[in-house]
Structure 1
């Protein structure tokens, strides 16, 4: 039986949403986020390793699969990585037939990215692993709590990027 230590409430800022900091850094929340992320990516990492892929490949494949026809510029904006980093990863995914690059219909200079069947299958396999972990974590929570988790995660995103992320996440739902 695990319990959340009493220290967590004391680490919260006195006024939620304010810029006032607690007396000590929120080490507990920082470390919980670190360990949660570590384990959240560990399941996909094992499978990606079988293909010689890493987390960058996972991120590219995820967003290309979720948004067929995504441009390289849009992908760079989402991932906030250098074009050089993206080119290396994208080249590998294209060469191994996980992603396909097509010429734009309205602008022939544009490259539109699509997951191949193999790429889609891998993206879904990885998403299912992470979905299982998320569902286990949310299993004992009521619907209001799940909404709080979504809002909390959204509020971790820089304010000037939140609306953009909301459009990407909630406007990109597909089965």
Structure 2
């Protein structure tokens, strides 16, 4: 468990500094990341991924929308649903944040080798809840 703690701490440190320069925190990072990975994601789908309340999401999403990182629009197929997409400014922030983390992961993967990477993937799959595993199933 300590390895996971230290890995998470170091995995997020550089991003925390970038986020702090905008007055944002890790919750903002998660929203920017998942909206970036899923353009036009519904608020409901984002809530399911993050497993947070609407109130919690509202506190995080509000500043991201007001400051021009995320746009929200009505779903043309269902006017009750709101769809979220990153703006160019949001994509730029997401790119900066992900670049630091991708570099850290790539370095660790190169050092560990393919067999270790596959083993690590299996460990992570075993840690996450079964319901979320299908997001990562390979064809």
- TM-score class, shorter: over 0.9
Matched, 1:151 2:122: yes
Asked whether 1:75 is paired with 2:50, we answer no
| Bigger proportion of residues as helix | 2
Q: Runs of at least 4 residues of structure 1 off by over 4 A?
A: none
Match status 1:84 vs 2:60: no
Structure 1 residue 60 corresponds to structure 2 residue 23:
no
- The structure 2 residue matched to 1:127, chosen from 92, 98, 101, is 98
Matched with 1:40 is 11
Deviation at 1:136, TM superposition (A): 1.6
Gaps of 5+ in 2: none
Structure 1 partner of 2:64: 93
Which of the two has higher C-alpha Rg? Answer: 1
Distance 2:26 2:132 in 1: 22
Q: Partners of 1:151 and 1:125 in 2: how far apart?
A: 28
Segments of structure 1 that go 5 or more residues without pairing to the other structure are 1-29
| Residue correspondences, number | 139
Matching residue of 2:88: 117
Higher strand share: 2
Structure number with higher relative contact order (C-alpha < 8 Å, ≥ 6 residues apart): 2
Let me know the Cα RMSD of the aligned residues.
1.4
| Whole-Å separation in 1 of the counterparts to 2:100 and 2:122 | 23
The alignment status of 1:166 with 2:120, answered yes or no, reads no
Deviation at 1:42, TM superposition (A): 0.6
- Give distance in 2, aligned partners of 1:102 and 1:144: 44
1:49 aligns with 2:20: yes
Q: TM-score, normalised by structure 2?
A: 0.95
